[in-house]
Structure 1
Amino acid sequence: MTALMQAVQIEEYGGPDVLNLRRLPIPTPIQGEVVVKVMAAGVGPWDGWIRAGKSVLPQPLPLTPGSDIAGVVVEVGPGVNELAVGDEIFGVTNRRFTEGYAQYARARVDMLAAKPSSMTFEEAASMPVIAVTAWQMLHEFASIKAGQRVLILGGAGNVGAYAVQLAHLAGAEVVATASDAQADHVRALGADKIIERSMRRMDPYTSSFDAVIDTVGGGALEQSYALVLPRGVVVSAVQKPDSTRLPQHVRSDFLLVNVVTPTLEALVRLAADGELKARLGDILPLADARRAHQMLDGSQHRPGKILLIP
């Protein structure tokens, strides 16, 4: 008799109402995978894009959304030596960013890392995609160094909050946009200066940046083009910057996150040492996945990462 689990599934693309709780078979791992008993699953904007049929990757239906997970390994697949049954892990399920909203999930071992005992499952599940995105923008694309000046657009957002912390830890001078209500929080993360998020209140301090790290896009990104130094960097997690409007020799690109074990391990070392802090938002049962996606689509919710608990 096939063992079953609860999982969220969509059979057609659309709004939050296409998310349904189902009884599905517990998955079996293939080469390079493990099966994880999911203790917490993160909810991110990319989950909403997949649900709405707007993913940049092919997403055959039916599917179970969700990529960020933390939990306990219950089965290892062929060729897996890195992890064992009973290991507490966190990371991402697969390169399609699916299968996470479930009691059990298959996951690639090269997209997982050990969860430190100092972190809760909720904290660990909140980190992978957003923290790795911030790390890649700052360290792998912009190559931030101590003493450089960095402008972070959206310093109070989930990716932006990690970008502020990581830029501060790198020794950069950090300027971030944030609402007046979030300004103190962003300063506490390590921002040296706050610009009101509309970027209307500007002063000479807000010009001449070595790097612009964008997590919001739109008008804020466009206004930042004039603020980056020649040979500087503009990198966005939201949209491709318009290179024709940038100063000469400025590198720019849209970053598509690549979650891998070494990056997760680097981040979790900082978290375990207390140098990198997660911010948890609303924590809901798996059955409330529709409500979680309503929050993604604009319904009021607490600041921080939304989580589902299977």
Structure 2
Amino acid sequence: MKAARIHRFGAPDVVVVEDVPRPTPAAGELLIRVAASGVGPWDALIREGRSKVSPTPPLTLGSDLSGVVEEAGPSVSEFKRGDEIYGVTNPQFCGANAQYAVAHANMVALRPSRLSHVEAASAPVIAVTAWQMLFEHGNAKPDQTVMILGAAGNVGAYAIQLAMNAGLQVISVVRSKDIEYVKALGSQTVVNYQSSEFQDAVRPVDLVLDTVGGETRKRSSGVLKSGGVLVSVVSADPMSERPDVRSVFFYAEVSTERLNRISRLFSSGRLTPQVGTLLPLNDVRTAHEMLGGAPHKRGKIVLELNG
């Protein structure tokens, strides 16, 4: 089978597509015939050797996937051959950019019928990340106000939709070119950080979701109410300047239970997938160049495999 591999850490040119043996599922695992697989910023961290969870090379890149169960390993009863599923491969976030992949059965779910394989493969990590930021670590409640830093990004776009569905007031902090996009997703208030300082433009908020980090994250502490929460997926630095607020950093944990929650929202039409550039597996190196700044469409980059 064909797979996107690295044999050493480095720039996008270390990525190669090569023939490797088809994997065999162990206990608790599924062998998936992959129809589509996502490419995200964490894949670049793995490729560069900066991930804290991935194994050392040689390895197959990719975590998000959608496809069909080819074989269920021992002790798996929730899924069977022929089931169409989506999710991620494993806690090491590798192995999905291939024609066949092994996935932990407790990290996938049945594919929502309203979504194509490409749409489903775009969603798992970023949608679950947004869910966890809001409801598990941010403890968001109806009528609270959430400010989203980087709201036009892939995680931010899901966070806006999830927050709106839950009855929160949403403030999106974006660039000028992204204003209409986040308004279309439902954001009630939009701050253009290129023309104004958001800490001077918004009322105090209950929750800040940070997908940006750096100085922007630091300044956001000033808009939190006492007792508020800042949830970040990019920075674990404590907020020592505000002892009356709480800061949280976490790594996304994709599970069947969380995916099923997301699936119900997709199936009801309350969530819309955000697919960006679509490429064949042979162009996976191009996808990694896009992660590094090369032009691409808004939304999640997805590789199309077996179809």
TM-score by length of 2: 0.97
Q: In the alignment, which of 259, 275, 283 is matched to residue 288 of structure 1?
A: 283
Given that residues 177 and 199 in structure 1 are in contact (C-alpha distance below 8 angstroms), is that contact kept between their aligned partners in structure 2? no
For 1:36 and 1:185, how far apart are their aligned partners in 2? 35
Given that residues 43 and 61 in structure 2 are in contact (C-alpha distance below 8 angstroms), is that contact kept between their aligned partners in structure 1? yes
Say whether residues 1:14 and 2:14 are aligned partners. Answer: no
Task: Give the aligned residue type for 2:35.
Answer: M
Partner of 1:46: 42
Helix, strand or coil at the partner of 2:164:
helix
Say whether residues 1:301 and 2:296 are aligned partners. Answer: yes
Partner of 1:126: 122
Deviation, 1:114, is 0.2
Flag structure 2 segments of 5+ consecutive residues without an equivalent: none
Partner of 2:184: 188
Distance 1:199 1:86, change over 3 A: farther
For 2:69 and 2:28, how far apart are their aligned partners in 1? 13
Partner of 1:253: 248
Partner of 1:274: 269
Deviates more, 1:175-184 or 1:136-145: 175-184
Deviation, 1:242, is 3.0
Helix, strand or coil at the partner of 2:240:
helix
Deviations 1:56-93 (A, max 9, x none): 12512200010000000001100010000000000000
Deviates more, 1:204-213 or 1:97-106: 204-213
Helix, strand or coil at the partner of 2:183:
helix
Given that residues 154 and 197 in structure 1 are in contact (C-alpha distance below 8 angstroms), is that contact kept between their aligned partners in structure 2? no
Given that residues 34 and 101 in structure 2 are in contact (C-alpha distance below 8 angstroms), is that contact kept between their aligned partners in structure 1? yes
Helix, strand or coil at the partner of 1:167:
helix
Say whether residues 1:157 and 2:157 are aligned partners. Answer: no
Q: In the alignment, which of 67, 70, 73 is matched to residue 71 of structure 1?
A: 67
For 2:195 and 2:66, how far apart are their aligned partners in 1? 37
For 1:82 and 1:129, how far apart are their aligned partners in 2? 21
Deviates more, 1:217-226 or 1:259-268: 217-226
Deviation, 1:309, is 1.1
Q: Percent identity?
A: 45
CA RMSD of aligned residues (A): 1.2
Partner of 1:115: 111
Deviation, 1:198, is 3.9
Deviation, 1:179, is 1.7
Given that residues 199 and 220 in structure 1 are in contact (C-alpha distance below 8 angstroms), is that contact kept between their aligned partners in structure 2? no
Aligned residue pairs total 305
Deviations 1:232-254 (A, max 9, x none): 000111112432022x3311121
Partner of 2:57: 61
Helix, strand or coil at the partner of 1:243:
coil
Task: Give the aligned residue type for 1:264.
Answer: L
Given that residues 221 and 239 in structure 2 are in contact (C-alpha distance below 8 angstroms), is that contact kept between their aligned partners in structure 1? no
Deviation, 1:197, is 3.2
Deviates more, 1:233-242 or 1:162-171: 233-242
TM-score by length of 1: 0.96
Distance 1:231 1:213, change over 3 A: same
Helix, strand or coil at the partner of 1:134:
helix
For 2:116 and 2:294, how far apart are their aligned partners in 1? 26
